[in-house]
A and B are shown apart, each in its own frame.
Chain A
Amino acid sequence: NAGVTQTPKFRVLKTGQSMTLLCAQDMNHEYMYWYRQDPGMGLRLIHYSVGEGTTAKGEVPDGYNVSRLKKQNFLLGLESAAPSQTSVYFCASSYSQGTYGYTFGSGTRLTVV
């Protein structure tokens, strides 16, 4: 029972480098989300998807892109990393619009130097 799996778990990038974070869920959930968690700020929504082939902007989308080519995968891309993107990133999925709660991955700790 994997639930939501995020890879990698840790990464250090240099400013200007690019990378992709992968989120995979095996629960057949329609909705998927990417959040970032920063001290004292809770979780903030970066982008989300309401189904395969769809994406939408959340609260803090600048500097990130996403793709949902397959229902079970939701990719978060950083084209040119900046130190302000140092954070812990969480992926989540939900069956509906979140009425029944969300399942979270264990997070990716990203440091941009």
Chain B
Amino acid sequence: AQSVTQLDSHVSVSEGTPVLLRCNYSSSYSPSLFWYVQHPNKGLQLLLKYTSAATLVKGINGFEAEFKKSETSFHLTKPSAHMSDAAEYFCVVTLYSSASKIIFGSGTRLSIRP
């Protein structure tokens, strides 16, 4: 069975400091993994994706994530937080062979302190 766990429901960092949003997944098959960002009252925007190519994936707005199969993790990082990064972030895992096997994490709310 597939599942995805976002380990923190809320993360607060100061502007200019690093960001770490944690995601662990469980999948019987090689998954595709994604991070999406949702700003208040907006739809979800794709930040980055892992689809069995390079394990270190670079996304938009300076975000990146590393796929670690041994740890079943896909944590999202950014070296220096900006006020505009304040949003909800979702980790998503999909099973390639099935359109219905798309599992969203419960989300992590990122707050940025001035």
Contact = CB atoms under 8 A, between A and B. Distances in A.
Interface of A: 4, 31, 33, 35, 40-45, 48, 50, 56, 58-59, 90, 92, 97-107
B45 A104 contact: yes
B112 to A, nearest CB: 21
Contact of B102 (A40, A45, A107): A45
Given A90-B43, A106-B42, A106-B43, A98 B102 contact: yes
9 contacts: A40-B9, A45-B102, A90-B44, A92-B44, A97-B97, A98-B102, A102-B44, A102-B46, A105-B43
B96 A43 contact: no
B90 A50 contact: no
Given A33-B102, A42-B107, A98 B90 contact: no
A97 B90 contact: no
Chain B interface size band reads 20 to 34
Contact of A99 (B94, B104, B105, B106): B94
Interface in B80-114: 90, 94, 96-100, 102, 104-107
A35 B44 CA distance: 12
Contacts of A35: 104
A40 B90 CA distance: 11
Nearest to A41: B106
Contacts of A97: 94, 96-99
Given A33-B102, A41-B106, A99-B96, A107 B43 contact: yes
A48 B43 contact: no
Interface of B: 9, 32, 34, 36, 41-46, 49, 51, 90, 94, 96-100, 102, 104-107
Given A40-B107, A100-B49, 18 more contacts: A4-B43, A31-B99, A40-B9, A43-B104, A45-B102, A48-B100, A56-B100, A58-B100, A97-B94, A98-B102, A100-B51, A101-B46, A101-B49, A102-B34, A104-B36, A104-B45, A106-B42, A107-B43
Nearest to A90: B43
